[in-house]
Amino acid sequence: MSEEPEIAVPSAPLSQADENLLEYFQDLERASLNTLEEAARQLITLVTALLGLFFGVMAFRDTPAYLTHPAVRALGTAAAAFYVLTLFLALDVVTPRRLERPAADLTAMRALLHRLFTRKSRSLRGAQVAFALATLCLLALTLVLLFRG
């Protein structure tokens, strides 16, 4: 058997600026999932309030004439559907799940954290897109109501 030659790798202690930068990114990584969940909670609160207002306006006892207009019905239905989709996607971000975490395998822990972050950020991004589409439908609905002749 032949021995592999040792390779010397020069090293030096980290500077204070390097340590600060490393600590900053470690703190950022620790707070990222909490930030995603807080954003999702804000969307849930906002969508719940908007859906309550939306259905309150649509649930008049005597159906107003504007609710028979096809554009109003289509835009109202689309807005409600996108708001509900926003709610489901945002709930996916904050719903707790059981995680099978390996006890001492740092590589597996990093992979699990990466998958968790990817899933939550994808759901939050979807919720943001659905919220934007719902709000655009609501804006279009408002414009139709204001300017229809």
Residue 61's pLDDT band (boundaries 50, 70, 90)? low
CA–CA dist 43, 49 (Å, integer):
10
Nearest to 40 by CA among 108, 94, 113, 110: 94
pLDDT recorded at residue 129: 97
Classify residue 52: in a domain, yes or no.
no
pLDDT recorded at residue 89: 93
Long-range contacts of 87-92, Cβ-Cβ distance < 8 Å, separation of 24 or more: 87/43, 87/44, 87/47, 87/48, 87/51, 89/123, 89/124, 89/126, 89/127, 89/130, 90/40, 90/41, 90/43, 90/44, 90/47, 90/123, 90/124, 90/127, 91/40, 91/44, 92/119, 92/120, 92/123
Classify residue 12: in a domain, yes or no.
no
Classify residue 131: in a domain, yes or no.
yes
Classify residue 36: in a domain, yes or no.
no
CA–CA dist 130, 86 (Å, integer):
5
Classify residue 96: in a domain, yes or no.
yes
Classify residue 135: in a domain, yes or no.
yes
Express each pLDDT in 91-133 by its tens digit.
Answer: 998 887 777 777 777 788 888 888 888 998 999 999 999 999 9
Classify residue 114: in a domain, yes or no.
yes
Classify residue 20: in a domain, yes or no.
no
Residues spanned by the domain of 84: 67-149
Express each pLDDT in 8-57 by its tens digit.
Answer: 777 778 788 877 777 777 777 778 878 888 888 898 898 888 888 777 76
* Domains: count for the chain: 1
